């Protein structure tokens, strides 16, 4: 059966056996992957993966069940289990499926992998890296083509077909010089066009330089409270912490620090963040929510002012909000007015943070963890690479105290984010 037939059969199993409303999402993901490890190619494979998720509503009770074996008999069993879960659930009038009828079609990117280009990309990258960065050890280099197909169907007549194809290039590496070695590091990107300078500073070049510098990393040896510059990939993680306070779970449970603050200034004017899930600038777009609702561009923080929550259909109904808005993918934060060097030059003593390794901030936004791939800034210059350095602070204070963002931005096919400078970070 193809995806349309699978969705139709799944919906039939639910509707004919007691579901008052229902939806089915069927997916097929295929990928071609080429891996280079330990100075040789070790893997070339093509894989197909299938999945179907069924949802049923019965008297305001909801059941959901997923399978990856898609025979008619398996669909029948999955339909039965979905209905059993729904019948055993607790009623909540906020449960619903998306309204229709509506038909949607989406298509993006190539449909077939260019395996020769993938091979050439890895070979050139390995050769160029050895020449430009002889101290970098490439532990694993992977080129991958992914094509995802999704079919959504519900009992209100909503139907969507979506297809996207894109490439991924990822590298696991460290630096080594005699007996000295750095910790492992990882980076990657999604793309459509093979014409990429992978060793530019915007791609792997700066990361390789930073990793080599950590061959001579030192402990800070003291405690200070000062300014911090977050590298873009690190800042992306802190953004995700903030967005967690805008989702259905935290708002329904009333644990969000941003509850009831739509339209209020909650961060620095430099905290401007948009979601652009279907923007062509991103190689890996996002077309649909799990409720079968088309994603839209939206502004989340408008120069420090909170503009929207990020609610799924259940959250919208439960909180009596105006619309579904859980589109926080493909994040766009505009570039700033200062170069990274200018941002560094304005700091007497602080830290440039490459990666944060720590637990999720508590409900108040307090965080504490290890700053990895990071550097001490002293007298307006990078002073030394740091090891075993702790940082702590409050997520919402960090957002309020942002005072600069960089002209340089990090683009990896799923985000567009600059370096971000803030204050009042404890470093030890």
* Cα-to-chain-centroid distance, residue 117: 26
Checking if the pLDDT of 326 tops 90, the result is no
Burial class (CB in 10 A: 0-12, 13-18, 19+), 63: buried
pLDDT at site 196: 94
CA distances from 65 to 8, 56, 79, 143 (A): 16, 9, 8, 33
Give CA–CA dist 320/198, Å, rounded: 47
pLDDT digits (tens, 9 = 90+) for 333-389: 999 999 999 999 999 999 999 999 998 999 999 999 999 999 999 999 999 999 989
Residue 17 above 90 pLDDT? Answer: yes
Cα separations (Å) of 53 from 73, 106, 364? 15, 20, 35
- What pLDDT score was predicted for residue 157? 97
pLDDT exceeds cutoff 90 at 328: no
Tell me how far apart the alpha carbons of residues 352 and 229 are, in angstroms, rounded to a whole number.
Answer: 5
Mean pLDDT of the chain: 95
Give the pLDDT confidence score for residue 329 in this predicted structure: 87
Q: Give the pLDDT confidence score for residue 48 in this predicted structure.
A: 96
For residue range 120-134, what is the model confidence (pLDDT) as tens digits?
999 999 999 999 999
pLDDT at res. 236: 95
Do 154 and 288 form a contact (C-beta atoms < 8 A)?
Answer: no
Q: What is the pLDDT of residue 260?
A: 96
The Cα 300–Cα 285 span in angstroms is 18
Select from 253, 246, 262 the least CA-distant residue to 311. Answer: 246
For the residues 92-113, what does the mean pLDDT come to? 96
Q: What is the pLDDT of residue 71?
A: 87
How is residue 256 annotated by DSSP?
Answer: -
Mean pLDDT, to the nearest integer, of 28-45? 96
DSSP state of 135: T
The predicted pLDDT at position 388 comes to 85
Which tokens hold the place of 107?
């298509």
The string of pLDDT tens digits covering residues 184-232 is 899 999 999 999 999 999 899 999 999 999 999 999 989 999 999 999 9
Q: What percent of the chain shows pLDDT beyond 90? A: 94
**Checking DSSP bridges between strand 224-230 and strand 349-353, what pairing results, if any?**
parallel
**Element spanning 162, H or E:** strand 158-177
pLDDT per residue as tens digits for the range 129-178 = 999 999 999 999 999 999 999 999 999 999 999 999 999 999 999 999 99
Question: What CA dihedral angle connects 353, 357, 359 and 365, to 10 degrees?
Answer: 0
If pLDDT is split at 50, 70 and 90, which confidence band does 19 have?
Answer: very high
- pLDDT at residue 38 in the model: 87
Q: What is the pLDDT of residue 181?
A: 92
Average the pLDDT over 273-286 and give the result: 96
Return the pLDDT at 282.
96
Residue 183 pLDDT more than 90? no
Give 326-392 as a DSSP string.
Answer: ----SEE----SB-HHHHHHT-SEEEEESEEEEPPP-TT-EEEEEEESEEEEETTEEEEEE-SEEEE
Q: Which structural domains are found in the chain, ordered by start?
A: 3-212 (3.30.2290.10), 218-428 (no CATH)
pLDDT at 70: 82
């Amino acid at each position: 059966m193809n995806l349309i037939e699978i969705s139709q059969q799944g919906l039939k199993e639910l509707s004919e056996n007691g579901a008052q409303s229902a939806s089915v999402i069927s997916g097929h993901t295929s990928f071609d992957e080429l891996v280079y490890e330990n100075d040789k190619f070790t893997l070339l494979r093509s894989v197909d993966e299938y999945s179907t998720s069924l949802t049923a509503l019965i008297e305001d009770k909801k059941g959901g069940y997923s399978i990856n074996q898609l025979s008619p008999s398996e669909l029948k069993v999955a339909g039965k289990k979905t209905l059993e879960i729904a019948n055993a659930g607790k009623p909540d009038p906020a449960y619903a499926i998306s309204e229709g009828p509506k038909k949607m079609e989406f298509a993006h990117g190539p449909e077939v992998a260019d395996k020769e280009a993938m091979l050439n990309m890895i070979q050139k990258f390995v050769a160029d890296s050895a020449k430009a960065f002889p101290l970098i050890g490439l532990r694993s280099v992977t080129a991958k083509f992914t094509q995802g197909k999704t079919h959504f169907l519900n009992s209100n007549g909503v139907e969507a077909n979506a297809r996207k194809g894109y490439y991924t290039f990822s590298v696991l590496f460290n630096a080594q010089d005699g007996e000295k070695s750095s910790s492992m590091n990882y980076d990657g990107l999604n793309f459509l066009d093979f014409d990429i300078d992978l060793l530019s500073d915007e791609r792997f070049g700066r990361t390789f330089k930073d990793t080599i510098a950590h061959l001579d990393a030192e402990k800070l040896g003291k405690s200070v409270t000062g300014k911090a510059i977050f590298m873009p990939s690190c800042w992306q993680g802190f953004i995700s912490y903030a967005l967690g306070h805008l989702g259905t779970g935290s708002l329904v449970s009333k644990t969000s620090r941003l509850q009831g603050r739509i339209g209020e200034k909650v961060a620095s004017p430099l905290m401007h963040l948009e979601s652009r899930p279907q923007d062509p600038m991103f190689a890996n777009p996002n077309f649909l929510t799990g409720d079968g609702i088309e994603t839209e561009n939206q502004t989340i923080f408008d120069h420090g002012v909170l503009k929207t929550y990020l609610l799924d259909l259940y959250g919208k109904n439960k909180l009596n909000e105006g619309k579904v808005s859980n589109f926080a993918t493909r994040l766009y934060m505009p570039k700033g007015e200062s170069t990274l060097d200018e941002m560094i030059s304005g700091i007497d003593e602080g830290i440039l943070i490459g990666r944060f390794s720590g637990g999720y901030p508590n409900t108040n936004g307090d965080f504490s963890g290890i700053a990895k791939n990071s550097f001490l800034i002293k007298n307006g210059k990078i002073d030394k690479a740091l090891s075993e350095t702790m940082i702590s602070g409050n997520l919402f204070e960090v957002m309020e105290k942002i005072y600069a963002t960089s002209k340089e931005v990090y683009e990896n096919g799923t985000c567009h984010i600059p370096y971000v400078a803030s204050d009042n970070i404890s470093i030890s």
